[in-house]
Amino acid sequence: MIVDSHVHVWSSDPQAYPWQPLLAHVPPPTYAAPVERLIADMAHARVDKAILVQPSVYGRDHRYLIDCLKLAPDRFIGVGLVDLRSATPREDFLDLIAKGAGRGLRLNTIRRGDVTRLTGPDYRDLFETAEEKGISIAFQMDIEQAPVVAQLAAQHRALPLIVDYLGPEIHGRSDSAPYLDLLAAQPNVHFKLLCTAEDTKSAYPFADVVAFYRSVFARFGAERVMFGSDYPGAANICSYDKLIQWGADFPGLGTAEKALVMGGTAARLFGISAEKT
């Protein structure tokens, strides 16, 4: 079974689903990425399930994500977004769960500097609720925020945490090892193997992003790593089929490790049935 753990979609109709961007450095897209196109691409690439991650350009408006989940509930799992500026993060999370968009949660801490407040009382109820319900929390983050994520992992040992996107600069940095060591020391921290083709400076198979992810595998092992295509952005560089193949052919992985990375790890964290669709 193949599970793509990191996919975005958005409507072709900004009037029906208006942009509400949360991140200053991520403007509304200039090209369409409707869910119908993703379904066709998944069928062609033989991808069984995809985890739809709420785009930051929709902000707290999850209507399109919810509509997509209703369209193909056997194919999609929804990961909602809680705005860190909200005065009621736990209540926002519970609302997402009630609407079916809270099988996972994403927090955008990238380019927000010091986020130590996440370990304090203002967010304790949010993390405790996710831990009680067994729902993972993913971070789009700066690598310098690793100590905070590691502390959260230590405070909530039954809560699965996921590092998903660290920004394009991570592949050119030489100082990431201590941060990765800090994260890997917490057994409930996981990592996404993202095919961030838009960040690469080389042609397919994007050799310049491989070195960083090799260092991730060396610390986390395949049982804590899951593939994500970063669709649709990466699909502007090459076909969706090739993005999936990039993950399946990642250097140095044996057959059992590939099975975990391409579906097994995500299936465990998100409670996905092993049945193919």
Q: Would you list the DSSP string of 94-157?
A: HHHHHTT-BSEEEEE-TT----GGGGSHHHHHHHHHHHHHT-EEEEE--GGGHHHHHHHHHH-T
pLDDT at 196: 87
Q: And the tokens for 155?
A: 């405070």
* Among the listed residues 237, 193, 238, 235, the one whose alpha carbon sits nearest the alpha carbon of residue 33: 235
Q: How many CA atoms lie within 13 A of 210 on its CB side?
A: 14
Per-residue pLDDT of the chain (277 residues; tens, 9 = 90+): 999 999 999 998 999 999 998 886 788 888 889 999 999 999 999 999 999 999 999 999 999 999 999 999 999 999 999 999 899 999 999 999 999 999 999 999 999 999 999 999 999 999 999 999 999 999 999 999 999 999 999 999 999 999 999 999 999 899 999 999 999 999 999 999 999 888 888 899 999 999 999 999 999 999 999 999 999 988 888 999 999 999 999 999 999 999 999 999 999 999 998 666 5
- Nearest-angstrom CA–CA distance, 261 and 254: 10
pLDDT at 275: 61
CA distances (Å), origin 93, targets 110, 133, 262 = 20, 11, 28
pLDDT at 277: 56
Q: Are 211 and 171 in contact (CB under 8 A)?
A: yes
Residues 168-180 as b/e (b if ≥16 CB within 10 A, e otherwise) read eebbeeeebeebb
* Among the listed residues 210, 199, 160, the one whose alpha carbon sits nearest the alpha carbon of residue 183: 160
Output phi, psi for 50, to 5 deg.
-140, 140
pLDDT at 273: 83
Q: And the tokens for 169?
A: 């600069």
Q: In what order do the strands lie in the sheet with 189-194?
A: 3-7, 49-53, 76-81, 104-108, 136-140, 161-165, 189-194, 225-228
In angstroms and rounded to an integer, the radius of gyration of the C-alpha atoms of the chain is: 17
Supply the CATH classification number for the domain 3-270. Answer: 3.20.20.140
Amino acid letter, residue 256: A
pTM of the entire predicted model:
0.95
Q: And the tokens for 170?
A: 């991570």
pLDDT at 25: 78
Q: Are 160 and 266 in contact (CB under 8 A)?
A: no
Using a 10 angstrom Cβ sphere, with 0-12 exposed, 13-18 middle and 19 or more buried, the burial of residue 236 is exposed
Q: Are 205 and 246 in contact (CB under 8 A)?
A: yes
pLDDT at 19: 92
Cα 10 from chain centre = 16
- Nearest-angstrom CA–CA distance, 53 and 218: 27
